[in-house]
Amino acid sequence: MRIIRFLDGQQKWLAAVTDDEQAYRLPQADFMTLIYQARKQGISPVQLVESAFKPLNKLTDDWTSLHLITPLEAPEVWAAGVTYQRSREARNYEATEGKLDAKTFYDKVYDAERPEIFFKSTAARTIGPLEAVTLRSDSNWQIPEPELGLVLAADGSIVGYIVGNDMSCRDIEGENPLYLPQAKMWRNSCSIGPAIRLAETVQNPYAFNIVCEIYREGEIVVKSEASTSELNRKLDELVSFLARDNDLFDGTVLLTGTSIVPPNDFTLAPGDRIEISISDIGTLINPVISN
Ligand code: DO4
Ligand code: MG
């Protein structure tokens, strides 16, 4: 069971999408209201959602044709880094200009008890389905980072899973790791959506398949696949470090790192289209424009 949000005129609506792709309008104003109403009534979010499955609430046959927006306004988006071997290798490559013999801080953080967690975005900065991610004007090496996102309640519980894109500038980070905030945060560099999979409907979050496709002038130029089974950390471990001596707000999203890195000679260009799919969650599509 997934939760989406869409625009009907000026009005934002929450809706549920079943595993057989039927969509129903929901009465709740937003995703976290749904979670708390269910908790208050002592039922699961799925049970609460199913109580709205009436003919009157049924939506168009193809929910993907709705005007989808971010399924929640995440007050903060955080991101974990170097949580997969592939990311460690890519960071080492950009930090050492391809001389892979030296041990770097990326090797250290991959093995360390403390994960790398950084601040990525705020609600006002985060974009959703079909909105354009933008390229930094002072970088020549930019890529999407397709990541599984955790939707968190203020108590740190994982209430859902979402698709995220942690756009990154490999040259800026490679020049100096202290430039990480500029390599990661600029206008429209964080996208999430199109749906939140309710946590209770996920049997094994270490079995999600992630696919990234990048199209240029109608042709596919990058296609790569990964699985959350390759994650070097436990999801609860990432959440516990994020929550340590920190206030979590309802609906915070934690991106869990990337295992997909396009070939080293690839950089995004205006006009590209990025499609990130995670099994049982959905496909996040964003065109790319210059800043
Ligand atoms: O160390 C930089 C960030 C790495 C990252 O964002 C990732 O591994 O996904
Ligand atoms: Mg990342």
For the domain made up of 76-290, the CATH class stated in words is alpha beta
Q: Cβ(197) to ligand 1 under 6 A?
A: no
3-class secondary structure for the chain? CEEEEEEECCEEEEEEECCCCCEEEECCCCHHHHHHHHHHHCCCHHHHHHCCCCHHHECCCCHHHCEEECCCCCCEEEEEECCCHHHHHHHHHHHHCCCCCCCCHHHHHHHCCCCEEEEEEEHHHCECCCCCEEECCCCCCEECCEEEEEEECCCCCEEEEEEEEECEEHHHHHHCHHHHHHHHCCCCCEEEEEEEEEHHHCCCHHHCEEEEEEEECCEEEEEEEEEHHHCCCCHHHHHHHHHCCCCCCCCEEEEEEECCCCCCCCCCCCCCEEEEEECCCEEEEEEEEEC
Q: Cβ(70) to ligand 1 under 6 A?
A: no
pLDDT at residue 235 greater than cutoff 70: yes
Q: Which ligand is nearest to the CA of 81?
A: 1
- Residue 102 is predicted with a pLDDT of 65
Q: Which atom of ligand 1 is nearest to the CA of 84?
A: 8
Q: Which ligand is nearest to the CA of 107?
A: 1
pLDDT at residue 98 greater than cutoff 80: no
pLDDT at residue 100 greater than cutoff 80: no
pLDDT tens digit sequence for 132-183: 999 999 999 999 999 999 999 999 999 999 999 999 999 999 999 999 999 9
Q: End-to-end alpha-carbon separation of the chain, Å? A: 36
pLDDT tens digit sequence for 32-91: 999 999 999 999 999 999 999 999 999 987 999 999 999 999 999 999 999 999 898 888
- Residue 99 is predicted with a pLDDT of 65
pLDDT tens digit sequence for 102-118: 678 888 899 999 999 99
* Partners of 274 in the β-ladder: 214, 286
Probe residue for ligand 1, chosen from 77, 78, 82, 254 as the CB with the greatest number of ligand atoms within 8 Å:
82
Q: Provide the residue ranges of all domains of the chain, joining segments of one domain with +.
A: 2-69, 76-290
Q: Is the pLDDT higher at 99 or at 162?
A: 162
- Residue 95 is predicted with a pLDDT of 86
